[in-house]
């Protein structure tokens, strides 16, 4: 049976890596009808909005999307389309697996953890205003409902994946009310849904030191939105960088899969971006829709390419010379 899935190519390297990802997914044998949708700065001219209604309607209908990165201007301009999408579809859990890969040399060879980020609340919501000239304020809103559902998701995810431990990274020593509520809810959900799963809390600054010293002591790392955002890129650096770190945004009845990285303006248009993080996000999507066999085929193929590590088959960020499509074609050849 075929699947109808929304596709947002996105900005910068987005169109290039989504093309590569479509190629690899098609080779795996899965039948997908893609609905290509506009979003990003490029959508404004034609639709008058960075996130056109047409895109929202299609995702609302099909409840599933694969998304390229979207640029957010710094210090002004339009607000984040990513934040709008996550809030609009209530995609409260960002799941970002971080795994060592054969063939990609880093300081660590035994990393296997998941960053679980609350995706809809906290300072990352960008609720800011000017109090008086020269004084600006950012609101950090944390709710019991939002904190309970991410923690419950975390323990249920841990059980379904056979994971043994969940560590919350927080700053509740300083933000006693907001992060305090977050960990209070995590403790409560551990009591209710965490049977057999070890629970641990760490203040985020010391936690970061522990992550870079010995990532193997972590299993699931859960955090509120902004901390989870920062930790995702930190952890990506443990296993070879942003080019190899996939992700998903999960809600109760909708999911959008995307790489952790952004639109990479420094390499956009050069055809050299690593498509693997989006391809891996595509594998997560296939697992989500019950197409595990096709997902396994892709996984075996990219692992074979990485293990061989031929310079003409992998991209520059992981030590090769290949372009985006060459890497994707190498993966297709192994299937
Ligand atoms: P970035 O992730 O785009 O790039 C950081 C560095 O990693 C750059 O040197 C880039 O070349 C490299 N990189 C990223 N992805 C790569 C890939 N697939 N292959 C090879 N190298 C790769 O982060 P940056 O520069 O901070 O943000 C650029 C834009 O992307 C901003 O507008 C930001 O708001 C947006 N962004 C969007 C995200 C999303 O759509 N989910 C996530 C993160 C950032």
The backbone torsions φ and ψ at residue 8, rounded to the nearest 5 degrees and listed phi first, read -110, 105
Is 70 a pocket residue for ligand 1 (Cβ < 6 Å)?
yes
Where does a domain end: 224, 239, 254?
Answer: 239
Q: Give the chain's domain count.
A: 2
d(CA 69, CA 329): 22
Where does a domain end: 239, 265, 300?
Answer: 239
118 and 228: one domain?
yes
Is 266 a pocket residue for ligand 1 (Cβ < 6 Å)?
yes
Q: Kindly state whether residue 102 falls inside one of the protein's structural domains.
A: no
Where does a domain end: 190, 211, 239?
Answer: 239
325 and 249: one domain?
yes
User: What pTM, to 2 d.p., does this model score?
Assistant: 0.97
Q: What is the 3-state secondary structure (H, E, C) of 111-177?
A: CEEEEEEECCCCHHHCEEEEEECCEEEEECCCCHHHHHHHHHHHHHHHHHCCCCEEEEEECCCCCCC
pLDDT of residue 77: 87
CATH number of domain containing 81? 3.40.718.10
Structural domain for 226, as ranges: 107-239
Mutate to test the pocket of ligand 1, among 228, 236, 264 (most ligand atoms within 8 A of CB): 264
- 10-residue stretch averages of pLDDT, the chain, 335 residues long: 94 97 98 97 89 97 98 89 96 98 93 98 94 97 98 98 97 98 98 97 98 97 98 97 98 97 97 98 98 98 97 97 98 97
92 and 126: one domain?
no
| 231 neighbors 245 (Cβ within 8 angstroms) | no
Q: Kindly state whether residue 37 falls inside one of the protein's structural domains.
A: yes
187 and 228: one domain?
yes
The per-residue pLDDT for range 79-127, each reduced to its tens digit, is: 899 999 999 999 999 999 999 999 999 999 999 999 999 999 999 999 9
175 and 261: one domain?
no
Q: Kindly state whether residue 211 falls inside one of the protein's structural domains.
A: yes
Q: Residue 205 catalytic?
A: yes
pLDDT of residue 144: 98
233 and 247: one domain?
no
Q: Kindly state whether residue 172 falls inside one of the protein's structural domains.
A: yes
């Amino acid at each position: 049976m075929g699947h109808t899935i929304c596709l947002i190519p996105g900005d910068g390297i987005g169109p290039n890596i989504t093309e590569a990802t479509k190629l690899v997914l098609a080779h795996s044998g899965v039948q997908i009808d893609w609905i290509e949708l506009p979003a990003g700065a490029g959508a404004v001219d034609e639709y008058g909005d960075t996130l056109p209604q047409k895109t929202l309607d299609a995702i609302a209908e099909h409840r599933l999307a694969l998304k390229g990165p979207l640029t957010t201007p710094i210090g002004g301009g339009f607000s984040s389309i990513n934040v709008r999408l996550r809030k609009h579809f209530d995609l409260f859990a960002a799941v970002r697996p971080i795994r060592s890969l054969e063939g990609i040399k880093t300081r660590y060879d035994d990393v296997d953890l998941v960053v679980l980020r609350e995706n809809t609340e906290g300072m990352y919501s960008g609720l800011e205003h000017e109090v008086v000239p020269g004084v600006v304020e950012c609101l950090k809103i944390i709710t019991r409902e939002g904190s309970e559902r991410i923690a419950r998701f975390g323990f249920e995810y841990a059980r379904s994946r056979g994971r043994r431990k969940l560590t919350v990274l927080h700053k509740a020593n300083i933000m006693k009310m907001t992060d305090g509520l977050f960990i209070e809810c995590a403790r409560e959900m551990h009591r209710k849904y965490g049977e057999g799963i070890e629970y641990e809390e760490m203040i985020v600054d010391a936690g970061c030191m522990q992550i870079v010293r010995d990532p193997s002591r972590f299993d699931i790392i859960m955090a509120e939105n902004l901390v989870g955002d920062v930790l995702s890129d930190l952890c990506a650096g443990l296993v070879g960088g942003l080019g190899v770190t996939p992700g998903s945004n999960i809600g109760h009845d909708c999911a959008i899969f995307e790489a952790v990285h952004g639109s990479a303006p420094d390499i956009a248009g050069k055809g050299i971006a690593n498509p693997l993080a989006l391809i891996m996000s595509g594998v997560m999507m296939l697992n989500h829709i019950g197409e595990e066999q096709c997902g396994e085929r892709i996984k075996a193929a990219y692992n074979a390419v990485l293990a061989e590590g031929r310079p003409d088959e992998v991209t520059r960020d992981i030590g090769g010379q290949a372009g985006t499509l060459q890497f994707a074609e190498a993966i297709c050849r192994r299937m």
